[in-house]
Amino acid sequence: MKNEKIEKKYAPEIQPKEIEELRNTIKTSSEKIIAENIERMKKADPNRPQAMKYFDEISNLFGQRQEELSAEKAKGKKIVGYMCLFAPTELILAADAIPVRVNSGWYDTTKIGDRVVPVEVCPVIRSTIGAQMIGLSPFLELSDALISVLTCDGMTKMGEILSDYKPIWEMNIPRVKDAAHSLRFWDDEILNMKKQLEAFTGNKITRKSLKAAIEQSQKATRVFRRLQDLRKGNPIIMGRDAMLVNQSYLWDDKERWTQKATALCDELEKRAERKDWVCPTDTPRVLVTGTPMFWPDSWKVPNLVEEANPKGIIVADELCSGERILNDPVGVDEWTMDDMLNAIGERYLMASTCPCFTSSDGNEDRINWLLNKVKESNVQGVIYYVTRGCMLYAMEYTRIKKALDKINIPMYYLDTEYTREDVGQMKTRVEAFLEMLTARVDI
Amino acid sequence: MITLGMDLGTQRVKAVILKDGEEVSRGQAFSGFDATTATEEAVAQALKGAGLQRSDIAYSVATGSSMENAPGADSTISMMSADAKAGVYFFPKAHTIIDIGAEEARAVKCDDKAVMVDFVVNERCAAGAGAFIEAMARALEVKLEDMGPLSLKAERASPINASCVIFGESDVVSLIHRQESKPEIARAVFDAMADRVSSMVHRIGVNPDVVLIGGVAKDVGFIAALKRKLGVEILIPDFPDYAGALGAALIAATRAKERQK
């Protein structure tokens, strides 16, 4: 028999023994970091909502959810991973497959990704490539195919690199939203994805199955919005807790997540009635925006903000790893196949505030979202979080800063890397910013 | 009321004692490997100068990169808030306060009410800070304190790279090989540094009064270069290296009053 090897475009040769050693070391340290993060969150709120217990468990990336997905896969279900929020999860669900987002929040795997791409590349990309190289991420490992949306430069090339490991389905996103042909072009991409999913899973996406999937995500959006609405008043839940709930939607079972998040909202509403606030009501209210913050290692900044002296509370975010996940419902008028597909197309393209978009007015949608959020959530200061190499967010900073200056809201550019070594310096910067917010009230 | 401010910098620890908001004494020590011991030394000096005991101090605040190691501090404050406080104390119309220490460069923006409204810090690199001058002085085989006066004798400027201390040093070596004069090389060092600091400060805006504090604010070579770059008058207090500690001591006075309430 011929021992034919498929030639890899990018992936370097690594001995299986080295892969195993790296995976075991990083997995052990990651399990520790996950547990530590949760301990820190518990410490920040000794009277933490009961409903958070579920989200603590589901946040163990090497735990229950991994087992469930393996079991589903053994029964023949397909798992479809995706790297950008533009992947139409309703179509995946309607094809009786399971969607799961696979971007890496592991700092340690960036060093492995560095063997393929230079350090100038955004660490979210380097880390995800590194995670794939050593098979660290259960969700990435279990994915039968990956949807790669051509948004920023990093995401565009990452799909190409990961094609050494998995089937990749690209989705080509138009960069200017408000041209009529953009939506038509994108609708074609959505239709292609439908066909791709049907062929791959062998399941036809029917009017009935798509309607059920859309209704499920509408339900999830309702409870998601309810949670963010609760955060708009006096502090009722620590920002980190809400952020974990929001993000866990990306890998959890959608129906169960909806139930558990509903239970959390019920509990929080009762607390609000009792005026049982999670921290003093004059705690500076912070919004974070910029590069996505993926669990677990990128909880660095949320941890710093909510454990600082003086302490702040994150009441809102404009992150594709956070509030952007479920903010916008798929709005269907008539439940015909065409209408549903159009509604999906529109929801994923038009509602997005991703900086990959531009126009003669710039990325106006993002500015409007931020100005709205600042007002609605009574935000006192904005942290603009950028990892080195995250070009699009870095480049939009000046414009956003100007827009916020106009309404007298301070914003601080917090640049960092996928590293723990700068925590000391970051702490000083975060604390100075929070002191500044406090001083504006005090003096 | 007696208050104490301690500034635990990367190279030196500074201590300032205030009596009813007026400075009465100062002390300093090399940070070395043990910031705690160095702080004790600096504080002991300041206490001795004021003829006071540690128990006379009503409230103390620590700042600086090792602020957590300050023995007996009642609380801490970020360097940016301390800078803002001190800058406005010296020059009430201060709107831009630049602090250049051994390894960090910062700039703070204050509004008309003397409240800090923005700040920037240099990004994980010592090329815009005192350590850069030190490394270049070594390469030139010139004493650190002679660098400034030497640079003022330069007749023209030659460019070097200040994106990094290491690259800067190799640039200086090649200038030496090209037999540039020492004054010109010294001036190139300050110009490069001022260039970096100026682009940092421009991110928050150059709004007079512009105040310069920190250890490097004592260097005539840097002051001249920064003036050339920013094109504005630069105000420097006496003992600019103690400004951070003074800011902390002023904040200690406010906090002591709050505690009495």
- For residue B104, what is the nearest residue in chain A, using CA coordinates? A425
Q: Cβ(A401)–Cβ(A383) under 8 Å?
A: no
Nearest Cα to Cα of residue A313 among A327, A303, A299: A303
3-state secondary structure of A361: coil
| Confidence grade of residue A4 (pLDDT, cut at 50, 70, 90) | low
From the list B79, B118, B124, which residue is nearest A428 (CB)? Answer: B79
Kindly determine whether residue B116 and residue A436, on different chains, have CB atoms separated by under 8 Å.
yes
For residue range B33-65, what is the model confidence (pLDDT) as tens digits? 999 999 999 999 999 999 999 999 999 999 999
CA distances in angstroms from B49 to A138, A363, B125, listed in the order given:
64, 60, 36
Q: How high is the pLDDT of residue B204?
A: 92
What is the percentage of chain A residues whose pLDDT exceeds 70?
A: 98
Q: How high is the pLDDT of residue B159?
A: 76
| Number of structural domains found in chain A | 1
* A380 backbone dihedrals φ, ψ, rounded to 5°: -100, -20
Q: Does B116 touch chain A (CB under 8 A)?
A: yes
Q: Does A415 touch chain B (CB under 8 A)?
A: yes
Q: How high is the pLDDT of residue A179?
A: 86
Q: How high is the pLDDT of residue B163?
A: 63
Q: Say yes or no to pLDDT of B127 above 80.
A: no
**For residue A86, is it within any domain?**
yes
Q: How high is the pLDDT of residue B114?
A: 86
* A316 backbone dihedrals φ, ψ, rounded to 5°: -165, 160
**For residue A48, is it within any domain?**
no
Q: Based on C-alpha coordinates, what's the Rg of chain A?
A: 21
Q: Say yes or no to pLDDT of A152 above 60.
A: yes
Q: Does A425 touch chain B (CB under 8 A)?
A: yes
Over range B165-190, report the average pLDDT: 84
3-state secondary structure of A151: coil
Q: What is the ipTM of this complex?
A: 0.85
- Could you give the CA distance from residue B149 to residue B168 in angstroms, rounded to a whole number? 20
3-state secondary structure of A202: coil
- Could you give the CA distance from residue A125 to residue A130 in angstroms, rounded to a whole number? 8
Nearest Cα to Cα of residue B128 among B234, B199, B40: B199
**For residue A9, is it within any domain?**
no
Over range A15-19, report the average pLDDT: 96
For residue range A162-174, what is the model confidence (pLDDT) as tens digits? 999 999 999 999 9
Q: Mean pLDDT lowest for which of A136-145, A264-273, B64-73? A: B64-73
Exposed e or buried b for every residue in A199-226, given b needs 16+ CB within 10 A?
Answer: ebbebebeeebbbebbebbebbbbbbbb
**For residue A8, is it within any domain?**
no
Q: How high is the pLDDT of residue A443?
A: 40
Q: How high is the pLDDT of residue A3?
A: 52
Residue A298 CB neighbours (<10 A): 25
* A286 backbone dihedrals φ, ψ, rounded to 5°: -115, 145
| Confidence grade of residue B155 (pLDDT, cut at 50, 70, 90) | confident
Chain A residues with CB-CB distance to B115 below 8 A: 436, 439-440, 443
| Confidence grade of residue B179 (pLDDT, cut at 50, 70, 90) | confident
Helical (H) or strand (E) element with A63:
none
| Confidence grade of residue B162 (pLDDT, cut at 50, 70, 90) | low
Question: Angle, to 10 degrees, between the axis of helix B182-202 and the axis of helix B165-177?
Answer: 150
Kindly determine whether residue B78 and residue A431, on different chains, have CB atoms separated by under 8 Å.
yes
CA distances in angstroms from A418 to A151, A301, B124, B145, B236, listed in the order given:
21, 11, 14, 39, 39
**For residue A156, is it within any domain?**
yes
**Domains of chain B (ranges, CATH numbers):** 1-91+241-261 (3.30.420.40), 93-236 (3.30.420.40)
**For residue A47, is it within any domain?**
no
Chain B residues with CB-CB distance to A436 below 8 A: 80-81, 115-119
**For residue A28, is it within any domain?**
yes
| Confidence grade of residue A180 (pLDDT, cut at 50, 70, 90) | confident
Q: Does A440 touch chain B (CB under 8 A)?
A: yes
Strand partners, A81: A100, A146
| Confidence grade of residue B174 (pLDDT, cut at 50, 70, 90) | confident
- Could you give the CA distance from residue A226 to residue A224 in angstroms, rounded to a whole number? 5
For residue range A293-308, what is the model confidence (pLDDT) as tens digits? 999 999 999 999 999 9
Nearest Cα to Cα of residue A346 among A195, A153, A148, A189: A189
**For residue A411, is it within any domain?**
yes
Q: What domain range is A233 assigned to? A: 16-41+54-442
Q: How high is the pLDDT of residue A439?
A: 83
Do the bridges between strand B2-8 and strand B12-19 make them parallel or antiparallel, or are there none, so unpaired?
antiparallel
* B16 backbone dihedrals φ, ψ, rounded to 5°: -130, 135
